[in-house]
Amino acid sequence: MTQEEWKDVFGDNLASIIKEKDMTQLRLARDSGVSTAMISEYINKRSVPGLFAAINMAYALDMSIDELVNFDEPIE
């Protein structure tokens, strides 16, 4: 999977998880310490999180990091 493909997959995955958990971007930002601007960047497929942001979002979403970022392929 290319980095661009990962942006698409991660953005869609994050948006789905937020919706499933009936959470807002603002609440995720507050609970994770990741800015609302960055969460918007991830959802709109313009950026992907670094390790610390991904870990903090996974904790805030009450899931493991691999549930948040598991795509079954390495990123090229």
pLDDT in tens, 19-32: 999 999 999 999 99
CA distance 28 to 72: 25
Region 35-39: mean pLDDT is 97
Q: What is the mean pLDDT of the chain?
A: 91
At 74 the pLDDT is: 67
Rounded (5°) CA angle 42-48-52? 105
Percent of the chain with pLDDT over 90: 72
The yes-or-no verdict on residue 36 having pLDDT over 90 is yes
CA distance 49 to 70: 14
Region 24-50: mean pLDDT is 96
